[in-house]
Amino acid sequence: MIKRRSLKDEVLKSLKSLILRDEYAPGERIVIDSLARRLGVSTTPVREALNYLAAQGLLVFEPHKGFILKKWNKKEIEDLMMLRMCLEKMAIRLFIENGFEKNFEKLKSKVEEMKSCLKNQDIDKMSICNTDFHNIIVKGSGNNELCNVMSSLGKKLYRVRMLSITFSGRFEESFKEHMRIFDAIRKKDVIEAQKAEEEHINNITKTLLRRIK
């Protein structure tokens, strides 16, 4: 039985955990009444949590069926990750050239948060920190149009991070990849930072493609 103050947040956390542990298969319907009984709560916070995850793109709502776990396909993943790689490599270059002095300490602070997440094995918070890490770089690029494009991809990228980070071994590996990106940025080495970013995206892509098989 969930007894914490924010019932909706606790249900949301529990539901994310179930999804990330593959207790729901892609395309599977999530039955509200059944989930509410499992978590020991009423259907109201469950419905609120499902609506939130649908807005984030992790679930889809289909008339006469209800909430269904989003299915991925190979081309969708490859197209999204290719676009992300191009945009984030550009953001890294602009960050180092134009935004380093004003934004490096923010990036450094976020890395410290990520270290804490790794120590505590806090997957939910690490996913948020991963998003923040890349957002700091994008915003620090100083290119407003780049920021707008990345913002429009936000929900899809959130799904990718949530799904990839829990794959066997990816929690620690993802952290190491971010550290390589960070270390190269700290040295203002554009080529090395972009190379580290490319490796990071390629590894995420491989992970996701294995997961949908």
CA atoms within 13 A on the CB side of 166: 18
pTM reported for the whole predicted model: 0.77
Is residue 41 over pLDDT 90? yes
pLDDT tens profile 53-104: 888 777 889 988 899 987 878 998 899 999 999 999 999 999 999 999 999 9
pLDDT tens profile 188-207: 999 999 999 999 999 999 98
Most confident of 2-11, 153-162, 174-183: 174-183
Confidence of residue 213 (pLDDT cuts 50, 70, 90): low
Interval 10-25 mean pLDDT: 80
Residue 1: per-residue pLDDT: 44
Residues 6+ apart with CB under 8 A from 145: none
CB-based burial of residue 210 (10 Å sphere; 0-12 exposed, 13-18 middle, 19+ buried)? exposed
Is residue 152 over pLDDT 80? yes
Please answer whether residues 117 and 126 qualify as being in contact, where contact means their C-beta atoms are separated by less than 8 angstroms: yes
Joined tokens for residue 76: 């969708």
Interval 169-186 mean pLDDT: 93
CA-wise closest residue to 81 among 165, 3, 198: 198
Residues in the chain: 213
Q: For each of the domains in the chain, give its residue range(s) and CATH number, in order of start.
A: 7-69 (1.10.10.10), 74-211 (1.20.120.530)
The DSSP code sequence of 114-181 is HHHHHHHT-HHHHHHHHHHHHHHHHHHT--HHHHHHHHHTHHHHHHHHHHHTTSTTHHHHHHHHHHHH
Assign 193 to helix, strand or coil.
helix
Average pLDDT of the chain to the nearest whole number: 88
Interval 102-125 mean pLDDT: 93
Please answer whether residues 92 and 193 qualify as being in contact, where contact means their C-beta atoms are separated by less than 8 angstroms: yes
Interval 93-118 mean pLDDT: 97
Q: Which residues pair with 69 in a beta bridge?
A: 59
Confidence of residue 2 (pLDDT cuts 50, 70, 90): very low
pLDDT higher for 111 or 164? 111
